[in-house]
Amino acid sequence: MKTKTVFLVLIFFGISFSSPQLENVTINFSNMSPHLNQNLYLRIIDKSTLRETGRTSAQISSANFSLTISAVETGKSYYVDFFSDHNGNGLYDAPPVDHAWRLNLNNALGNDTLNFSHNTSFTDIKWQYVLTVNFSGMTPHIGRMLELKLENSTGEKEIGRIKIPSINTSAFPVQIVGLSEPGDYSVEFYADHNGNGLYDAPPVDHAWKLSFNYTSGNVDLTFTHNTTFTDIQWKYLVTVNLSSMTPHLGRLFELRVVKVENSEEAGRISLPSILVQNFSVFIPGIDLNKDYNIDFFADHNGNGTYNPPPVDHAWRLTFSSATGDYTANFTHNTTFTDINWPGAVSVDDETNVPASFTLEQNYPNPFNPSTIIRYKLSQKSNVKIRLINLLGNEIAILINEHKDAGEYSLEFNSLKYDLPSGIYFYEMIADNFSDVKKMVLIR
């Protein structure tokens, strides 16, 4: 079984059907003359979950205008992402083809106002599209729970899931945000026909699977109730709510869920930077009636990799999945556990040695203030990674040391070098290998 990695910056777990009271936020736009008669698309993303809480759109008919959206909770922090469809194709294209920006709303008060004046400091907001499944004929399941998940079959990763506690009408739509990469997708869903709150293979519960090939834009699917069931072998979801993580703001955070009986990893998540002190992470892929460890750490010393406590701060929680979905609540403390996080592979472990030298694209990109750079060494060598500006001048040497063969990562924090917004390059040199990647800092 392959591990399913959850990349939270790119993945949203759907729109809750039991949302708390949401407040308005108004964005005042000015000097938007370059985009007259173009469409503007806007979304709100909760920094504590990286879930989208709302989206809206409008045609730009004047240089100065306002948009109001009800999508924030008081006391929480958000990204406000928007783009103008500059080339008019009805889709998002990364800047400079389309013009896109990101604003920050921190500690929302309710009825907040943000002001934006047109500029050319663009941000690639990696806009995602919506899958809508239009259900009909669901009368046999009125009053029952419905669960649905969207998977990228090509990349073998779950995009999002929705739980409707009780179906109250025979026809209704369900929406999931997260379509972005072209490829083969599937939608799996079941109605809890026997009402026990868990998935049971058909015909006890009624389950189906729809498959489609995705190219671009929003997608609409229709489904009419039928008895052509599919055993979708439903996996459950782990939610970990973390609080008081202030000592680790801006640091790398990684978490994985491991089955105790065979050390099989159900899934993991990597956050390049902890954005807020209270946040949640989500791991799908849990089997029923199994014991699991939840292992996680904050990269306290900022070197981009796991070091046993007290250098890094690491913890372990345990649970049994007897009731399906599981929620764990964790408050920061100093009762650390050496979780033996899988790190760089040893040169002696020949089966895991990378096949070649590789420099990967930093993530996130654009970033503020920090980002993670990952690289691979196929043999023991001296590796040098340096930061370069647009003029080709060296700003800093990020690493210059001998390393065993393996996979590594390092955190680059722009605050250390007091860098302004702009385009930068990082270059890796190891033996006869060299490669350069571009990264964008947005302040």
Residue entry with tokens 């026997």: 194
Question: Do 105 and 64 share a structural domain?
Answer: yes
The model's pLDDT over 176-216, given as tens digits with 9 standing for 90+, comes to: 999 988 999 999 999 999 999 999 999 999 999 999 999 99
Question: Do residue 394 and residue 309 come from a single domain?
Answer: no
Tracing tokens 């026990």 back to the chain, one arrives at 196
Asked if residue 257 belongs to a domain, the reply is yes
Q: Is 362 part of any domain?
A: yes
Provide the domain count of the chain. 4
Q: Does residue 253 share a domain with residue 194?
A: no
Phi, psi (5° rounding) for residue 140? -60, -15
Exposed/middle/buried for residue 352 (C-beta within 10 Å: 0-12, 13-18, 19+): middle
Residue 343: per-residue pLDDT: 56
Q: Are residues 80 and 164 in the same domain?
A: no
In a domain, 101, yes or no: yes
In the numeric block, which tokens belong to residue 325?
């979905």
Residues 191 and 280 in one domain: no
CATH code where residue 190 lies: 2.60.40.10
Quick one: pLDDT at residue 314?
97
DSSP result, 23-92: EEEEEEEE--GGGTT-EEEEEEEETTT--EEEEEEEE--SSSEEEEEEEE-TT--EEEEEEE-TT-SSS-
361 and 276 inside one domain:
no
Query: Does 60 map to a domain?
Result: yes
Distance between CA atoms of residues 325 and 345, nearest Å: 33
In a domain, 372, yes or no: yes
CATH number of the domain at 371, please: 2.60.40.1930
Final residue in a domain of this structure, among 331, 361, 392: 331
Q: Which residues of the chain have pLDDT under 50?
A: 1-18, 344-351
The answer to the question of residue 338 being in a domain is no
Domain boundary among 117, 147, 178: 117
The reply to whether 317 and 384 lie within a common domain is no
In a domain, 345, yes or no: no
Structure confidence by residue, pLDDT tens digits, 258-289: 999 988 889 899 998 999 999 999 999 999 99
On whether residue 5 sits in a domain, the answer given is no
Asked if 374 and 407 sit in the same domain, the reply is yes
pLDDT at 297: 96
- What CATH number is attached to the domain comprising 26? 2.60.40
Which of 224, 256, 284 is the C-terminal boundary of a domain?
224
Provide the pLDDT for residue 155: 58
Report pLDDT for 39: 97
Q: Are residues 22 and 112 in the same domain?
A: yes
The pLDDT assigned to 19 comes to 54
Q: Which domain holds residue 188?
A: 129-224
